[in-house]
């Protein structure tokens, strides 16, 4: 579906730092166990193949090299000990490391792929790259952390697919890198257009670990013998995009406050996630599977801790600085008439309880909580409305569509949440489900909004 134009390696430019090593912190270690993140940015940009080859490819290579000068670890590897259990994993860049970049073309229907309607999940895997195989070195394994694929839809558009290992950084880190690369591309490599918000902060001494949490989590992670290999096997599902408008969000908030006037954490995030959660629960009836009405359902979301620690961590800190919040309740509570209200209350109270609890972050209680979650009965969130990837302009105009391909990775359901392309107050929800359940979800989602 996508034929190769060029395969290459892009390294930071000569004169960049010769080496950079970053020890993993307790925020990073957990992500050694999890799958890779995959995003695709689609741009409507009618360009011919000759022009793409002659102008776009060289420009993207040059600007990517400049971006990597500032984001060296993305060109490097995660170094994971094999035999010496006393060693500790780290991120390491040395001169000669590079990022694998694929340039390809396709005859697939661009306009169909960037729609909101259900589309075959497998189609999107043609536009995200696979990370190179890890390499063995004395006592360690070296695993690449980033790969990029740029695909031409002749005379229609361009997509850029990113695959990164989560251990290298959270959404805030990766989004800053993408936007930095876009700026350098748009402005011909002029680095003066890189504002301070796009220059990473690397000092890991700002992450305090008074309880030795990093070592404890690493000792636990080693038991799982996590594979660093990148595998791509798309499940038989479809993808859909759902818009929750600013007006819908306001109506949700007013509805909740009319029922629970004393609730203090009623936000766009909580009402949107609660609505999606309850619609998903109700859509399960279409699967024909037997559901335990008294079974426990789990909701998980990540919170950025940069501003929650004392002293605060710089917003440009490079790496992971997130912890997970978990809310739980019985299936029957969410499936009933008060399901939406219960979900808003649960999510809001969980966030409010944890958002200022620094000791809960430092002592690792959030990590222990992961072990209590039934992944098959969980809904989790990736992305954030705070990250505006629609503002990533490579000089081809505003992004047409953002797709989080990695929402298909786990056993439960993961949704992506982002700002909407068309309106600052709207939210865009990406979802991947079996076709029958997707149809049921869409009907329930639309029906519910019509009664607001």
Contacts of 158 (CB under 8 A, 6+ apart): 42, 43, 45, 47, 52, 56, 150, 151, 152, 396
Annotated catalytic residue within 70, 165, 166, 331? 166
166 is catalytic: yes
Tell me the CB-side half-sphere exposure of residue 86, using CA atoms within 13 A: 0
Please indicate, yes or no, if residue 230 is contained in any of the structural domains: no
Domain boundary among 193, 223, 253: 223
Please indicate, yes or no, if residue 229 is contained in any of the structural domains: no
User: Which residue range is the domain that position 435 belongs to?
Assistant: 238-451
Are 170 and 117 in the same domain? yes
Please indicate, yes or no, if residue 319 is contained in any of the structural domains: yes
Chain CA centroid to CA 306, Å: 17
Are 219 and 265 in the same domain? no
Domain boundary among 223, 258, 287: 223
Neighbour-count burial of 447, counting CB atoms closer than 10 A to its CB (0-12 exposed, 13-18 middle, 19+ buried): exposed
pLDDT tens across the length of the chain (452 residues): 889 999 999 999 999 999 999 999 999 998 998 778 999 999 999 999 999 999 999 999 999 999 999 999 999 999 998 766 678 899 999 999 999 999 999 999 999 999 999 999 999 999 999 999 999 888 899 999 999 999 999 999 999 999 999 999 999 999 999 999 999 999 999 999 898 899 999 999 999 999 999 999 998 888 877 778 888 888 889 999 999 999 999 999 999 999 999 988 899 999 999 999 999 999 998 888 888 899 999 999 999 999 999 999 999 999 999 999 999 999 999 999 999 999 999 999 999 888 888 999 999 999 888 889 998 999 999 999 888 899 999 999 999 999 999 886 667 899 999 999 888 889 999 999 999 999 999 999 999 999 88
For tokens 């079996």, the residue is 434
303 forms beta bridges with 323
Are 189 and 299 in the same domain? no
CA dihedral 276, 301, 414, 341 (to 10 degrees): -20
Distance CA 19, CA 36 (A): 25
Please indicate, yes or no, if residue 228 is contained in any of the structural domains: no
Transcribe 58-96 into DSSP letters: HHHHHHHHHHHHH-GGGGSEEEEESS-TT---EEEEETT
Which CATH number do you get for residue 262? 3.30.559.10
Are 76 and 135 in the same domain? yes
Are 24 and 107 in the same domain? yes
Are 23 and 159 in the same domain? yes
Q: What pLDDT was estimated at residue 84?
A: 61
| Cα–Cα nearest to 32, from 243, 228, 312 | 228
Are 121 and 242 in the same domain? no
| Cα–Cα nearest to 144, from 176, 204, 97 | 97
Total domains in the chain come to 2
Annotated catalytic residue within 62, 123, 388, 393? 393
The two tokens of residue 139 are: 């006592």
Distance CA 115, CA 240 (A): 8
Are 13 and 125 in the same domain? yes
Are 172 and 267 in the same domain? no
Are 183 and 242 in the same domain? no
317 DSSP 8-state letter: B
Chain CA centroid to CA 164, Å: 9
Are 404 and 310 in the same domain? yes
Are 291 and 179 in the same domain? no
Domain boundary among 188, 223, 258: 223
């Amino acid at each position: 579906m996508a034929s190769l134009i060029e395969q290459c390696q892009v390294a930071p430019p000569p004169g960049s730092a010769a080496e950079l090593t970053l020890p993993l912190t307790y925020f990073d270690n957990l992500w050694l166990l999890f799958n890779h993140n995959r995003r695709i940015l689609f741009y409507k940009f009618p360009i011919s193949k000759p022009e793409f080859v002659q102008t776009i490819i060289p420009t993207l290579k040059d600007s990517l090299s400049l971006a990597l000068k500032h984001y060296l670890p993305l060109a490097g590897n995660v170094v994971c000990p094999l035999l010496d259990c006393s060693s500790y994993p780290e991120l390491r860049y040395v001169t000669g490391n590079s990022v694998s970049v694929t340039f390809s073309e396709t005859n697939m229907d661009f306009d169909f792929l960037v729609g909101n309607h259900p589309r075959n999940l497998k189609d999107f895997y043609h536009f995200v790259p696979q990370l190179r195989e890890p390499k063995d070195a004395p006592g360690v394994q070296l695993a690449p952390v980033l790969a990029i694929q740029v695909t031409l839809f002749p005379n229609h558009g361009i997509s850029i697919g990113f695959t990164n290992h989560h251990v290298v950084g959270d959404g805030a880190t990766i989004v800053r890198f993408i936007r930095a690369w876009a700026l350098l591309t748009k402005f011909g490599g002029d680095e003066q257009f890189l504002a301070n918000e796009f220059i990473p902060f690397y000092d890991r001494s700002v992450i305090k670990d008074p309880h030795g949490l990093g070592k404890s989590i690493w000792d636990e992670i080693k038991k799982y013998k996590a594979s660093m290999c990148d595998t791509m096997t798309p499940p038989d599902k479809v993808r859909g995009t759902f818009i929750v408008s600013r007006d819908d969000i306001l109506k949700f908030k007013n509805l909740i406050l009319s029922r629970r006037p004393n609730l203090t954490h009623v936000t766009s995030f909580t009402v949107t996630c609660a609505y999606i959660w309850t619609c998903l629960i109700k859509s399960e009836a279409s699967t024909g599977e037997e559901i335990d009405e008294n079974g426990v359902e789990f909701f998980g979301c990540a919170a950025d801790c940069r501003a929650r620690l004392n002293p605060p961590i710089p917003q440009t800190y490079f790496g992971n600085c997130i912890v997970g919040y978990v809310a739980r309740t019985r299936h029957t509570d969410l499936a009933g008439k008060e399901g939406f209200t219960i979900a808003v209350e649960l999510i809001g109270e969980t966030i409010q309880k944890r958002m200022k609890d620094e000791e809960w972050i430092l002592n690792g209680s959030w990590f222990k909580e992961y072990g209590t979650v039934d992944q098959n009965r969980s809904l989790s969130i990736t992305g954030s409305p705070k990250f505006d990837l629609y503002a990533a302009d490579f000089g081809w105009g505003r992004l047409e569509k953002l797709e989080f391909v990695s929402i298909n990775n786990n056993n439960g359901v993961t949704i992506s949440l982002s700002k909407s392309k068309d309106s600052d107050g709207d939210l865009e929800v990406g979802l991947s489900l079996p076709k029958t359940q997707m149809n049921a979800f869409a009907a329930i989602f639309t029906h519910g909004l019509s009664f607001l």
